[in-house]
């Protein structure tokens, strides 16, 4: 289950990175690089922090194939999916929902405290997008007013609460992932944002 989620998250984030790169009018190499770092950036940082090296995408070539295939798909069908703001938002939202769970599961396997597991999940979900936005000369979404990392945290809290109930792990994963995605969608739809501090 967790491997499938990891692959799906890789697809979602790779496509979101490719869409940003296309919007920035990058060449094919730039598009592939942005898609790649978006897909593996958060997971790479997570694995380095918990000492799981070589990092997961280096040990399993499937991730590289998936990223390249996703990039080719996004380029070929960009006219179909290139309602850029909507498509990017949807793929990014699905990605953070899936990657939050992957990070939490990695933390559990490393026998870390639940709070640290939630932090790892949030980092896994967010930092690929941070790297993407920095390389594309944008202010990362996580640092703007939008609900982004907060959705990951709420999904992580939901995950650990549900684990205390007599339900299967697969159901826990599905519900927690849906919480992340729904919170993010509702926050954007209804313009819900964390307060900012102005001078």
Annotated domain spans of the chain: 2-189
Nearest to 159 by CA among 170, 148, 150, 149: 170
pLDDT tens digits along 30-43: 999 999 999 999 99
Can you give the pTM of this predicted structure? 0.85
pLDDT of 199:
59
Any idea which of 68-77, 119-128, 132-141, 185-194 has the lowest mean pLDDT? Answer: 185-194
pLDDT of 188:
83
**pLDDT-based confidence at 144, cuts 50/70/90?**
confident
Task: State the chain's mean pLDDT as an integer.
Answer: 89
Any idea which of 26-35, 38-47, 72-81, 85-94 has the lowest mean pLDDT? Answer: 85-94
Q: Are 146 and 187 in contact (CB under 8 A)?
A: yes
Residue 58 has pLDDT above 90, yes or no: yes
């Amino acid at each position: 289950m967790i491997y499938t989620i990891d692959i799906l998250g890789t697809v979602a984030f790779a496509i979101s990175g490719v869409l940003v790169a296309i919007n920035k009018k990058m060449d094919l190499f730039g598009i592939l690089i942005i898609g790649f770092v978006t897909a593996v950036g958060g997971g790479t940082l997570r694995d380095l922090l918990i000492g799981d090296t070589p990092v997961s995408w280096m040990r399993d070539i499937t991730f590289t194939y998936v990223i390249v295939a996703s990039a080719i798909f996004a380029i070929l069908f960009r006219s179909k999916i290139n309602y850029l703001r909507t498509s990017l938002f949807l793929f990014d939202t699905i990605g953070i929902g899936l990657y939050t769970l992957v990070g939490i599961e990695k933390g559990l396997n490393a026998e870390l405290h639940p709070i640290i597991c939630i932090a790892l999940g949030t980092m896994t979900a967010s930092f690929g997008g941070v790297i993407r936005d920095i390389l594309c000369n944008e202010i990362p979404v996580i640092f703007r007013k939008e609900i982004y990392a907060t959705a990951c945290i709420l999904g992580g809290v939901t995950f650990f609460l549900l684990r205390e109930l007599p339900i299967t792990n697969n159901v826990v994963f599905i519900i927690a992932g849906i919480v992340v995605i729904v919170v993010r969608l509702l926050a954007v739809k209804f313009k819900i944002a964390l307060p900012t501090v102005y001078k």
